[in-house]
Amino acid sequence: MTDLLEPRAIGRDLARRDGVAKVRGTATYAFETPVEHPAYAHPVQATVARGRVTAVDTSAAEALDGVLVVLTPSTAERLASTDDAELAVLQTDEVGFRGQLVGVVVAETSELARQAADLVRVAYEERQHDSVLSVDRDDLYAPEQVNAGHETDTAEGDVGAAMASAAVALERTYSTAMYHNNPLEPHATTALWDPAAEVPLTLWDSTQGVHPDRATVCRVLGLEERQVRVVCPYIGGGFGSKGTPHANVVLAAMAARALPGRPVKLALTRQQMFSLAGYRTPTIQQVQLAADRSGRLSAIAIDVVEQTSRIKEFAEQTGVPTRMMYASPNRRTTHRLAALDVPVPSWMRAPGECPGMFGPEVALDELADELGLDPVDLRIRNEPEVDPETGKPWSSRHLVECLREGAQRFGWADRPAPRHRDGAWLVGTGVASSVYPTMRQATSTARIRYADGRYVAEIGAADLGTGTWTTLPQVAADALGVDVDDVEVRIGDTEYPIASVAGGSSGLNTWGSALVVAAREFRGKFGRRPEDGDEATGDVDQAAQDEDHAAYAFGAQFVEARVHADTGEVRVPRLLGVFACGRIVNPRTARSQFVGGMTMGLSMALHENSVWDPQVGQVANHDLAEYHVTVNADVGDVQAHWLDEHDPYVNAMGSKGIGEIGIVGTAAAVVNAVHRATGVRVRDLPVTLDKLLTGLD
């Protein structure tokens, strides 16, 4: 049990502290950092999907007036560490995927750098590439573990026997597409290498974590942490793609090091982001469910096939939510990977849970259909008493309450019959559950200082649009027992104490916990009447850590879908989610997170699809005109509600993290609603009209 803070600032609907600066355009993002006399870098990318660079002719590029530096695999500095092949930029002639970095041009203007990059002639020895994911590849392998340190496979009981003897057994294959994070702000860095300075390398980098960013850059370049500063006050979105530094950050640093004393700016183009900034692997999910006539599950299993890059492994933990979501005596989850000649996959909002709650949540709807049960009731019937994976009790679990309140708010009981028609449109409703683990990172330190009648807290945390600038002061104010206006929190700079990455919905849980420790330390040392300059620090590892409970946030999402009876066009006029995520620190920024996540889930359901072209070996639709995300006209009434959930185990704020759960389950709910509207079950995302046409009259 943790002593929960008495919520005074926590829970208040405070406006974003950085809002005015952002609306006025005065908030500076990485690329805009004001620096003296900047130079501009533009990458050169491989145009073969597999092979070797045999020659690079830079003469035409270097002949242009204003070109300062051209780096190639044979002229670039040798990096201290090349263990991570994604970051071993320009260290080898080998090409592992199309779009990989094979050079960079630095010039006086960005236009000139781009022109010169076009003039770099690269010759290749091209080899046959292999980039098609399928379940019947003979080279699928089991990784040692999957993302976030989860076991690759789990098994309990005998799924096969349960399937054979069950009243109803369902076996289906589902697939999710390849997705690219596509934050509005591209991956961008302003880099300055000044060997004579006390801190020789400064990176103003768009990153979800200045300290993890610095640690990686130091390892790759062979620098001490004191030699590098990373600054990032504002981020124009990341969705995980800025959670770990990608090759562009290393390239920017190398370009700066080739031009000592001169700041170098590098921003990826939208097209370049499709090969250099990570993405979510496509997944193929073979799901098995066995149940009795009342809908009680006797078996649940998911066997996942997904891809990674041949040069670096990333194994999305797609099967993980199936391990804990519902009660069933027999269970199995497996992950198998194909290592292909493709760019390196990475984190994208709710890795694991987002794709992993698609197949099973659609399968449950199919099971409900087969049993003639309400899909809400089916889920409630399979509510586990304790965490099926660990046997631990839940710190709090209110999925059933989310389902019931959502059903009531949505008007689920009065939903129209299957294939209901309203004018030219077929109307259907669907439901799915959401889940996300409550995580806290092991490392983060906050420092609180009293100065001029105010409390200034410093921590190298990140605000990628989530509201950190606003919510951390709320936590600090309650921890110190002062008004929120008397607290200033500074984030986004390695000059401040170490902080973990903004990822895994762990930011507030982690940094807030460190702030609470620091505040208690401060009050313990200096009492209620501190003097100017009084200062205390606190580490997250000093905060109470509960090991005895399974901690997750839950939710339920309800969807109304309309399908045009002539053309198969899909519209979703209503999305409604109810979430149980512990205490909500700021309803305004929280609602924005939930609604944003749900909208991104709608986008996954209907639109997003990185179309992989195996002939060329790249994403064919690599810009925002062709890679569709849901636009305003697609978004109707999106409502996010939450329960007033009390959880005394998770942390002093009682908060569970909300950045990711909104995207989890949405796509399944859309598919289920479309099925109710049309009778067509789309098992491979996205739900495009061509998949519905044959089922329409």
Partner 1 sequence: MKPFAYARPGSVAEAVRDVAAEPAAVFLAGGTNLVDHLKLGVARPDLVVDVRTLTSREISDLPDGGLRLGAASTNSEVAADRRVRERYPVLAEALLAGATGQLRNTATTGGNPLQRTRCVYFQDVTTACNKRDPGSGCSAVGGYTRHHAVLGVPAALPDPTAPETCTATHPSDMAVALAALDAQVQVLGPAGERTIPFADLHRLPGDDPSRDTVLEHGELITALDLPPLPAGARSAYRKVRDRASYAFALVSVAAVVTADGPGSSTVRIALGGVAHKPWRATRAEQVLRGGPLTEDAVRAAMAAELAAAQPQPGIDGGNGFKIPLLTRTVVATLRELVEATR
- The residues of the shown chain that bind partner 1, judged by CB under 8 A, are 47, 111, 114-115, 118, 271, 424, 566-569, 571, 606-607, 609, 611-616, 620-623, 625-626, 628, 630-634, 688-690, 693
Query: Closest Cα to residue 691, out of 599, 557, 563?
Result: 563
- Which CB atom, from 25 or from 391, has the smaller least distance to partner 1? 25
- Which CB atom, from 152 or from 630, has the smaller least distance to partner 1? 630
Token readout for 261 is 């004393």
Cite the beta strand spans of 276-419 per DSSP E: 283-291, 297-309, 330-340, 394-396
Pairing label, strands 487-490, 535-539: unpaired
Alpha-carbon torsion, ordered 161, 137, 342, 671, to 10 deg? -40
**Placement of tokens 């197949």 in the chain:** 359
Residue 618 Cβ, how far from partner 1 at the closest point, in Å?
8
- Which CB atom, from 107 or from 514, has the smaller least distance to partner 1? 107
- Three-state helix/strand/coil letters over 220-244: HHCCCHHHEEEECCCCCCCCCCCCC
Length of the chain: 697
Taking a C-beta distance cutoff of 8 angstroms, is the pair 300, 327 a contact? no
Give the integer Cα–Cα distance in Å for 204 and 654. Answer: 34
- Which CB atom, from 391 or from 423, has the smaller least distance to partner 1? 423
Token readout for 28 is 């500076």
Pairing label, strands 94-95, 51-57: antiparallel
Neighbours of 125 (CB within 10 A): 12
Give the integer Cα–Cα distance in Å for 269 and 273. Answer: 6
Find how far residue 30's CA is from the centre of its chain. Answer: 20
Residue 628 Cβ, how far from partner 1 at the closest point, in Å?
5
- Catalytic site residues? 660
What separation in angstroms does the CA of 250 have from each of 88, 223, 231, 241, 540? 8, 13, 15, 15, 30
Residue 403 Cβ, how far from partner 1 at the closest point, in Å?
29
- Which CB atom, from 75 or from 567, has the smaller least distance to partner 1? 567
- Which CB atom, from 397 or from 622, has the smaller least distance to partner 1? 622
* Helix, strand, coil share (%) of the chain residues, nearest 5: 30, 25, 45
Taking a C-beta distance cutoff of 8 angstroms, is the pair 657, 436 a contact? yes
- Which CB atom, from 291 or from 692, has the smaller least distance to partner 1? 692
Beta bridge partners of 511: none
Residue 629 Cβ, how far from partner 1 at the closest point, in Å?
8
CA 18-461-222 angle, 5° bins: 130
Query: Closest Cα to residue 51, out of 89, 101, 95?
Result: 95
- Helix, strand or coil, per DSSP, at residue 335: strand
Residue 186 Cβ, how far from partner 1 at the closest point, in Å?
14
Find how far residue 170's CA is from the centre of its chain. Answer: 31
CA 586-587-593 angle, 5° bins: 95
Taking a C-beta distance cutoff of 8 angstroms, is the pair 84, 312 a contact? yes
- Which CB atom, from 165 or from 567, has the smaller least distance to partner 1? 567
- Which CB atom, from 307 or from 445, has the smaller least distance to partner 1? 307
Cis peptide leading into 143, omega within 30 of 0?
Answer: no
Beta bridge partners of 39: 264
Taking a C-beta distance cutoff of 8 angstroms, is the pair 476, 487 a contact? yes
Pairing label, strands 51-57, 283-291: unpaired
- Which CB atom, from 595 or from 616, has the smaller least distance to partner 1? 616
* Inter-helix orientation angle 666-678/587-606, to 10°: 50
Taking a C-beta distance cutoff of 8 angstroms, is the pair 76, 43 a contact? no
Token readout for 578 is 């109810």
- Which CB atom, from 108 or from 401, has the smaller least distance to partner 1? 108
Find how far residue 267's CA is from the centre of its chain. Answer: 21
Residue 379 Cβ, how far from partner 1 at the closest point, in Å?
30
